Structure 1
């Protein structure tokens, strides 16, 4: 794995030093390939020395991968003045939150804003589910079904996200996979086994409708937005996935 000191890495992305190759694959594909699986015009990762040397051993150059995302997070002219270093990851997350009309505070941590992104997608999707689909979901997630109102289920999901563990990871997989399907036309390649995402198909359609509405509000003329939105959801998932994996092997 790539070695680095804490001075040259965005601290909100430092957890990726524990990522495995297969866990980083979807993020790398998002940065390099568009919805038609054609290389993005502005991407530089596939031409980098690290990519040429290590290929699909993504964990060997995870820092370079994060740098690519940070470049997409800033516009081209601004990046020139930043000496090609892009923007801080927190700025990217905040920008995605603004695009999705999510309220957050400047003192919110990156993970708190990421959780608000998951919650927003969940809330918009929940209202498009049938009663049977709702009950199936709360059963799978082991959430009390005594209150299936929007307020009741929102509170339950908020608590789930704060609590962490397998169910939080499971929820993040469901949302990230559905967002990937909706924006990039392809789901996750890792972590979506049948047992983990039993009711995944229930969310794919409704999340697609959610992002059809959100997409009309986003500056789709900006290629960067087509990268940063799904990439932030991938990283949100990776943060929970890696933490869950590390806690499991303790």
Structure 2
């Protein structure tokens, strides 16, 4: 998972830690908090490596049931599920096809884009029009695109019709709306402030007004505390991968 964690910055770590935090976890939240603080003080390879190791352990715990995790720990087996298995479980939970085999980055990016595209397709034409206009698309251009698409959407088609910045904004709006619905607006607002403070260029224009509206369009309904963590974390990691890809293409 080094390819995925290597693109995370301090705000990302804080955001993910905020999603993981729980008094009921067997995973060591305090340890993550300590490691994040150490990384904030000095962004050294050693501090990043220690933080990534603990983060991976925590994610693999969250992808397991407490009973199975405890049993595997007692028997000396590797206690957590693989990250690939967790991604497939998240895909099943949010009703999208599991990503094809690839790197962790490729899988979470595909999952996030497939989920956002599906959610957008499930909106009414009026809601789709509103979202595109909110993202800065001209009204006539948005209406013309929606008429041509006839309800069939794919990422390449969206990028061709608009540009990657607009499409990334659409994906971010839907994903942040989903995260806010899962964790609650109050927690989402607090976590979102980490991102605004550190990366205003990435998220300031996808603020609470946008993703709060998206909450009402999000139909996902999760059962169980673990999925209320794994789903937003995996989707957020997909956003991080998209952000990095866009930065590389723009440079």
Runs of 4+ in structure 1 over 6 Å off: 161-164
Stretches of structure 1 lacking an aligned partner (at least 5 in a row):
1-9, 33-38
What is the distance in 2 between the residues matched to 1:25 and 1:158?
A: 32
What is the distance in 2 between the residues matched to 1:128 and 1:193?
A: 30
**Structure 2 partner of 1:208:** 215
TM-score normalised per structure 1:
0.70
Indicate the RMSD between aligned Cα atoms, in angstroms.
Answer: 3.7
What is the distance in 1 between the residues matched to 2:110 and 2:24?
A: 32
**Structure 2 partner of 1:62:** 52
**Structure 1 partner of 2:173:** 174
Stretches of structure 2 lacking an aligned partner (at least 5 in a row):
none
Alignment partner of 1:28 is 2:17? yes
1:103 aligned to which of 90, 94, 97: 97
What is the distance in 2 between the residues matched to 1:142 and 1:57?
A: 45
TM-score normalised per structure 2:
0.70
State whether residues 7 and 241 of structure 2, in contact with CA within 8 Å, keep that contact through their aligned partners in structure 1: no
Alignment partner of 1:88 is 2:82? yes
Q: Which sits farther off after the overlay, 98-107 or 17-26?
A: 98-107
Residue 226 of structure 1, CA deviation? 1.0
Residue aligned with 2:6, SS: helix
Q: Flag the structure with higher helix content.
A: 2
Deviations 1:40-70 (A, max 9, x none): 411523232x643552626621232132112
Distance 1:65 1:114, change over 3 A: same
State whether residues 17 and 33 of structure 2, in contact with CA within 8 Å, keep that contact through their aligned partners in structure 1: no
What is the distance in 2 between the residues matched to 1:151 and 1:40?
A: 47
Count of matched residue positions in the alignment of Structure 1 and Structure 2: 224
State whether residues 104 and 113 of structure 1, in contact with CA within 8 Å, keep that contact through their aligned partners in structure 2: yes
Residue 90 of structure 1, CA deviation? 2.2
Distance 1:54 1:179, change over 3 A: closer
